[in-house]
Amino acid sequence: MQEKIKELLAEVEEFKADTKEHLENFRIRLLSKKGKISLLFDEFRTLGPDMKREVGQKLNDLKNRAQEKLDSLKEKFDSSDSSSGPSGDISLPGETMTTGSRHPVSIVRNRILEIFGKLGFTVSDGPEIEDDWHNFSALNFPENHPARDMQDTFFIDEKDKIALRTHTSSVQVRVMENSKPPIRTVSPGRTYRNEAISARAHCFFHQVEGLYIDTGVSFADLKQTLLHFSKEMFGPDTQIRLRPSYFPFTEPSAEMDISCPFCKGSGCNICKGSGWVEILGCGMVDPAVLDNCKIDSTRYSGFAFGMGIERVTMLKYRVNDLRLFSENDKRFLEQFKSAL
């Protein structure tokens, strides 16, 4: 009996099935009621207790091995069956592929660049980590200006005054240092300020700043350029108004409002009844800034402006919370799929 068990075990181990029928034969031959293993169990029952003890375990092992082999081969045939033909309900709707779309801030940035591109403005880029010179000193910020404070600006290295840029005016300094007038450039990019996050403020946002330097550039050029931009961006009925303001790097400086794009100036809750909404800061480049950048301020003059892209996007698409732009909520982002 021990011999037979050994032989059958070898047969089980060596067995390979090419087809399902082959496997079924194996089952009948060994494991069915009249199969070889079942017959061995019949024989086992006739043995005396000593012999039973000797072969019982081996016989059980043989049966288990045969069963395992049968199960594993069966599984193999079953799974290859399903991959060789259609399975499931092929009339069900297919899985939809979601396609990405542009972020609203990118859409509006591209539009701003396009409008100024048609006026001959090039696009310039610069580092987000800036030194004191490019972010503050060259731009005429006095030593004690609040923006130079930790409270307003993220300093990476306090001793060397390395900070995350607070505006892309720093890029304009780099352009002025590295090229000669006439200069017409717009600088888009991410900027950082140490602000408490709310619906109207965030610790980072995006800007496009613009710079135009040539001989004889006047405030009238600034005004006409920005009026053109506003009409292109918000529609031909748009009007602008300039309010006196202050920036260290421009003189004179102004805040620009556009007529409220929602109520067209008649007064609504967005413009708080005034008919105007603030959109950007601007002014004539301070001669001290030109001199800092080695541009002859007796020969050249220029204007500059800077706007927050999120702000323009909020006004264009009636978004009421700045935080939505950085939350990555698809329900929000998908609404801009068809926007251009």
Phi and psi for 214 in degrees, rounded to 5? -165, -175
Contact flag: residue 212 with ligand PHE (CB under 6 A): no
| Backbone dihedral region for residue 237 (phi beyond 0: left; psi -120 to 50: alpha; all else: beta) | alpha
Of positions 135, 170, 225, 250, contacts ligand PHE by CB under 6 A: 250
Question: Least distance from C-beta 193 to ligand PHE, angstroms?
Answer: 9
Of positions 167, 174, 184, 206, contacts ligand PHE by CB under 6 A: 167
- Per CB under 6 A, the segment of 87-95, 113-121, 268-276, 303-311 that binds ligand PHE is 303-311
Contact flag: residue 304 with ligand PHE (CB under 6 A): yes
Contact flag: residue 169 with ligand PHE (CB under 6 A): yes
Q: Rounded to whole angstroms, how far apart are CA atoms 263 and 270?
A: 9
Contact between 25 and 3 (Cβ < 8 Å): no
Of positions 247, 300, 325, 336, contacts ligand PHE by CB under 6 A: 247
- Per CB under 6 A, the segment of 28-36, 82-90, 280-288, 314-322 that binds ligand PHE is 280-288
Q: Which residues of 269-285 are buried (b: 16+ CB within 10 A; e: fewer)?
A: ebbeeebbbbbbbbbbb
Of positions 186, 225, 306, 313, contacts ligand PHE by CB under 6 A: 306
Angle between helices 104-118 and 219-234 (to 10 degrees): 130
Of positions 104, 189, 261, 281, contacts ligand PHE by CB under 6 A: 281
- CB-nearest residue to ligand PHE: 306
Residue 214 CB-density burial (10 A; 0-12 exposed, 13-18 middle, 19+ buried): middle
Residue 257: CB atoms within 10 Å? 20
For ligand PHE, the closer CB: 253 or 301: 253
Helical segments of the chain, H only? 2-14, 20-30, 36-45, 49-83, 104-118, 132-135, 169-178, 219-234, 287-292, 309-317, 330-333
Contact flag: residue 282 with ligand PHE (CB under 6 A): yes
Structure token digits, residue 295: 């541009």
Sign for the pseudo-dihedral over CA of 312, 317, 319, 320: positive
Of positions 59, 283, 312, 314, contacts ligand PHE by CB under 6 A: 283
Sheet of 155-157, strands arranged across: 129-130, 162-164, 155-157
Pairing label, strands 183-192, 301-308: unpaired
Contact flag: residue 111 with ligand PHE (CB under 6 A): no
Question: Least distance from C-beta 107 to ligand PHE, angstroms?
Answer: 22
Contact flag: residue 136 with ligand PHE (CB under 6 A): no
Contact flag: residue 312 with ligand PHE (CB under 6 A): no
Q: Which residues between 57 and 86 bind ligand PHE (CB under 6 A)?
A: none
Contact flag: residue 302 with ligand PHE (CB under 6 A): no
Question: Least distance from C-beta 173 to ligand PHE, angstroms?
Answer: 11
Contact between 45 and 3 (Cβ < 8 Å): no
For ligand PHE, the closer CB: 73 or 306: 306
- Per CB under 6 A, the segment of 7-15, 32-40, 299-307, 318-326 that binds ligand PHE is 299-307
For ligand PHE, the closer CB: 181 or 281: 281
Q: Rounded to whole angstroms, how far apart are CA atoms 167 and 145?
A: 15
Contact positions vs ligand PHE (CB under 6 A): 167, 169, 209, 247, 250, 253, 281-283, 304-306
